[in-house]
Amino acid sequence: MEQNARIYVAGHAGLVGSAICRELVRLGYRQILTRTHAELDLTNQFAVEAFFRDNRPEYVFLAAAMAGGIRRNSAFPAEMIFANLAIQTNVIDAARRHGVRKLLFIGSACSYPRECTQPIAPSAMLTGPIEPTNEPFAVAKIAGVRFCQACNRQYGTTFLSVIPATMYGPGDHFDENGHVAAALLARFHAAKRDGIGEVAVWGTGRQRREFMYVDDAAEGLAFLMDRLDDGELVNLGVGADTSIADLAQAIACTVGYEGKIVFDATRPDGMPVRLLDSSQIRKMGWAPRTSLAEGLAKTYEWYLEHSVKERR
């Protein structure tokens, strides 16, 4: 990407979108286009069309989404499908019609089958049933990947699709609708603050996930936007997975919580294991730099500075 290029970050206020903006500023890009939801409703096709017509972005990072964990997928399945299909369809189609040079669509690892060979290769998509607890979000994300690939075949666009590992860090939702690391961090903090002797964690704790600090993910996404020129699906991960039990213990240590951790096995685990094969980006010369312990410490520091203050 040229330093003076007009770059639109859709979803700039969210977890990954805000990290992408930080990375672009760090790299020296200055024409970064952003709009809040109040300024631009991405589910509104006519509003999206007007934005692309008036602003003519040359590159697009499509990070906007209605996201969340098992609880949010279970509570709002119709909204999950509608909002995500509408957002990505409107943005991808407008990008195609207005001559965007490159678009990077951010998919989700929950789009892969529930049971498949680990680490998961991009070719595994649609080779088996999806984990039911993630299905609303996953179905929409699969459609986004396939739409990008279809545009490349039919129109000759350069629309990239990247599936990152489970991300965590500054800018997440630190409540029951957030990703697992953020939700647990807020729960352990509240338990420590209020002197609660026990914290319950959904599931058995045996399920395993790959956790990536969001600023590392943003660096990898910018790297791929700059260097990748085909529409093949690419994974972006750290190369190691962690059990939810170990994650909970690491978060308790980060927060300084000394109470008991219990696992509610009546709640769903989701996919048993989810580790991505990220060999393609490794071969291109990129790898993440932040360990889980370091990333959790940075996330908690941000949480104390921002989220806790906002609740006072």
The 3-state DSSP composition of the chain as helix, strand, coil percent (nearest 5) reads: 45, 15, 40
pLDDT score of 306: 87
- Bridge partners (DSSP) of residue 242 are 209
pLDDT score of 308: 57
Identify the CA nearest to 214 among candidates 164, 175, 249, 262.
164
The answer to whether the CB of 164 falls within 8 A of the CB of 106 is: yes
How far apart are alpha carbons 244 and 248 in whole angstroms?
A: 6
Helix residue ranges, H only, the chain: 15-26, 45-55, 70-75, 77-97, 135-155, 180-194, 214-227, 244-255, 279-283, 292-305, 307-311
Is 128 strand, coil or helix? coil
- 7-311 folds as Rossmann fold (3.40.50)
Q: Classify the C-alpha dihedral 9-11-14-15 as positive or negative.
A: negative
pLDDT score of 81: 94
The residue type found at 15 is L
224, containing H or E segment: helix 214-227
The answer to whether the CB of 166 falls within 8 A of the CB of 172 is: no
Whole-angstrom CA distances from 165 to 73, 210, 308 are: 18, 6, 27
Residues with Cβ within 8 Å of 181's Cβ and at least 6 positions away in sequence, in order, are: 166, 168, 172, 211, 247, 251, 296, 299
Strand 102-106 and strand 59-62: the pairing is parallel
Cis omega before residue 119 (within 30°)? Answer: yes
Residue 109: CB atoms within 10 Å: 23
The residue type found at 207 is Q
Domain extent listing, the chain: 7-311
Q: Report the chain (312 residues): mean pLDDT per 10 consecutive residues.
A: 95 96 97 97 98 98 86 84 97 98 96 95 96 91 98 97 96 82 94 95 93 98 95 95 97 97 89 95 96 97 79 46
* Chain CA centroid to CA 75, Å: 19
How far apart are alpha carbons 296 and 274 in whole angstroms?
A: 20
- Structure pTM? 0.94
b/e code 154-174 from CB counts within 10 Å (16+ = b): eeebbbbbbbbbbbbbbbbbb
Residue 213: CB atoms within 10 Å: 26
